Structure 1
Amino acid sequence: MADKLKITLIKSTIGAIPKHRATVEALGLKKLHKTVEMPDNAAVRGMIAQVKHLVKVEEI
């Protein structure tokens, strides 16, 4: 596993269910095509798995 993950919001949360919307915001993503760096741990991986259809993930 990598030390950090680069997570980018690639799809809008407008049509998403409220739980997914909250997860995207908890990841620190507010606008389309914005990127955040998060530590690579089980909690972050779980959040990414929940909204994998909305985000793009790169290991750095």
Structure 2
Amino acid sequence: MSNKQVKLTLIRSLAKRLPNHQACVRGLGLKRMHQTVTVAATPENMGMVNKVSFMLKIEEV
């Protein structure tokens, strides 16, 4: 089992976004603009990342 990590930075605002998109961003642990978090690259997390990828800067760690 690999321990791949993904570094995510919120680069677009959550204001006036779909509730599902807001929930995905919150589920990834992001709360404010330009905040960066590192999450495991599990299928569950990557599904959320794919849904809101237009709002994130994504880097592999």
Indicate the TM-score class for this superposition, using the shorter chain for normalisation.
over 0.9
What is the number of residues matched between the two proteins?
60
Post-superposition offset of 1:41: 1.4
Q: Secondary structure at the match of 2:45?
A: helix
Paired residues of 1:2 and 1:59 also in contact (CA < 8 A): no
Report sequence identity in percent: 37
State the Cα RMSD in Å.
Answer: 1.4
Structure showing the higher helix proportion among its residues = 2
Give me the TM-score of the superposition, normalised by structure 2.
Answer: 0.91
Letter in 2 for 1:36: V
Instruction: Give how far 1:24 is off.
Output: 0.4
Q: What does residue 46 of structure 1 align with?
A: 47
What are structure 1's unaligned runs of at least 5 residues? Answer: none
- Are residue 36 (structure 1) and residue 37 (structure 2) matched? yes
TM-score for both structures, normalised by structure 1: 0.92
The answer for unaligned runs of 5 or more in structure 2 is none
